[in-house]
Amino acid sequence: MIIVLRRDATEEQVGHLVATIRGWGLTTHVSRGTERTIIGVIGDERAIRSKPLEAIPGVESVMAVLKPYKLASLEFQPERTRIRIPAVKPGGAPVEIGGPSVVVVAGPCSVENRDMLFDMARVIRGAGAKLLRAGAFKPRTSPYAFQGLGVEGLRYLAEVRAEVGIPIITEVMDTRDVEMIAEVADILQIGARNMQNFNLLKAVGRCRKPVLLKRALAGTIEELLMSAEYILSEGNREVIVCERGIRTFEKATRNTLDISAVPVIRRESHLPVFVDPSHGTGVWPLVAPMALAAVAAGADGIMVEVHPNPEQALSDGPQALLPKTFEKMMKDLQAVAQAVGRTL
């Protein structure tokens, strides 16, 4: 950590600052320049990162030298994390996430009813998707909108999983539901609005199921990795991070899908990175081009919404792909994956 002093900082202030930092168990290195005196902190700065150094008299600014996350960093773990989702049925193939193959997760936004869920599971699996997504508990901006089927939806998910033999990813919104959902789901999803619901992060961190963590609408990449760090630090090392669009001034799309998050995260962290172009754009004709872009940029997986009849969807219809559009996209994805040296 580097502490820049004010031009008018007194010797007494320098002494007080040095003493304070020593009191926290670190050593200092004072450098007097022509314009400013600068204090370098020697030792693991993470120990004092949350200390209010800016509040100490004479301090002008404080600059961190190290990233605030540790377990999530490529510096800590140079080999990439690979997550293995066991086969649901005996004899089935497991799914590997974070390896050479790009993994596609697809399904309806919500579990709406049993039949549709079974239909969609078969459609997306037939087209090459490896996991089924569908929400039983739904975060909705309006209290008057469909809130998900809840426990009934979870039951349908368990049934489709067992019968069709496809692993399931579904969202958990409440610390009280973690255990119940972890009994059904192969991967637990933390939604964008809960990226900094720290109690929920701790709860899934203590769970033995992989977690897909979505970036918040105003979440920086550093904060996304810090939220992953919450899960990792509780002992759960199977975390996937997912870019799903950030909020900007642009109104042509529901969110601005930050594709550059993919190479940025891959340079900083060993965790697999997914992209969700459905929420990332909010408009179905943009989903396929942005899925292709994500894979071209190096994404480890894609998560998209598919619905047999978007105009009757109970949530997020405008961004859902029709089965036939999804099938076309899968073919194009395969070509792009190959072009960048991966498989689908």
Could you say which residues in the range 146-185 bind its own copies, by CB under 8 A? 146-147, 173-176
Q: Please, what is the minimum distance in Å from the beta carbon of residue 271 to its own copies? A: 15
Tokens of 293: 């872009």
Does 325 sit near its own copies (CB under 8 A)?
Answer: no
Does 206 sit near its own copies (CB under 8 A)?
Answer: no
Compute, in degrees rounded to 10, the torsion defined by CA atoms 80, 85, 86, 87.
Answer: -130
Q: SS3 letters for the chain?
A: CEEEECCCCCHHHHHHHHHHHHHCCCEEEEEECCCCEEEEEECCHHHHCCCCHHHCCCEEEEECCCCCCCCCECCCCCCCCCEEECCCCCCCCCEEECCCECEEEEECCECCCHHHHHHHHHHHHHCCCCEEECECCCCCCCCCCCCCCCHHHHHHHHHHHHHHCCCEEEECCCHHHHHHHHHHCCEEEECHHHCCCHHHHHHHHCCCCCEEEECCCCCCHHHHHHHHHHHHHCCCCCEEEEECCECCCCCCCCCECCCCHHHHHHHHECCCEEECHHHHHCCHHHHHHHHHHHHHCCCCEEEEEECCCHHHCCCCHHHCECHHHHHHHHHHHHHHHHHCCCEC
Does 324 sit near its own copies (CB under 8 A)?
Answer: no
Does 285 sit near its own copies (CB under 8 A)?
Answer: yes
Does 269 sit near its own copies (CB under 8 A)?
Answer: no
> Per CB under 8 A, which region of 88-96, 128-136, 149-157, 285-293 contacts its own copies?
285-293
Count of residues interacting with its own copies (CB under 8 A): 112
Cα separation, 308 vs 321, whole angstroms: 8
Does 100 sit near its own copies (CB under 8 A)?
Answer: no
For its own copies, the binding residue among 13, 46, 159, 308 (CB under 8 A) is 46
> Per CB under 8 A, which region of 94-102, 113-121, 128-136, 241-249 contacts its own copies?
241-249
Does 208 sit near its own copies (CB under 8 A)?
Answer: no
| Residue among 133 and 161 whose Cβ is closer to its own copies | 133
For its own copies, the binding residue among 21, 95, 123, 295 (CB under 8 A) is 295
Instruction: Check if the beta carbon of residue 178 is closer than 8 Å to that of residue 142.
Output: no
For its own copies, the binding residue among 25, 100, 235, 263 (CB under 8 A) is 263
Does 258 sit near its own copies (CB under 8 A)?
Answer: yes
Q: How many CA atoms lie within 13 A of 85 on its CB side?
A: 27
Q: Please, what is the minimum distance in Å from the beta carbon of residue 6 to its own copies? A: 10
Does 306 sit near its own copies (CB under 8 A)?
Answer: no
> Per CB under 8 A, which region of 57-65, 87-95, 119-127, 157-165 contacts its own copies?
57-65
Instruction: Check if the beta carbon of residue 211 is closer than 8 Å to that of residue 181.
Output: no
Q: Please, what is the minimum distance in Å from the beta carbon of residue 86 to its own copies? A: 28
Does 139 sit near its own copies (CB under 8 A)?
Answer: yes
For its own copies, the binding residue among 12, 179, 183, 222 (CB under 8 A) is 222
Cα separation, 149 vs 166, whole angstroms: 20
Q: Please, what is the minimum distance in Å from the beta carbon of residue 242 to its own copies? A: 16
Does 10 sit near its own copies (CB under 8 A)?
Answer: no
Of 106-135, binders to its own copies (CB under 8 A) are none
Does 289 sit near its own copies (CB under 8 A)?
Answer: yes
Q: Please, what is the minimum distance in Å from the beta carbon of residue 88 to its own copies? A: 29
| Residue among 25 and 92 whose Cβ is closer to its own copies | 25
For its own copies, the binding residue among 100, 206, 335, 343 (CB under 8 A) is 335
Does 18 sit near its own copies (CB under 8 A)?
Answer: no
Cα separation, 300 vs 220, whole angstroms: 20
Q: Please, what is the minimum distance in Å from the beta carbon of residue 196 to its own copies? A: 4
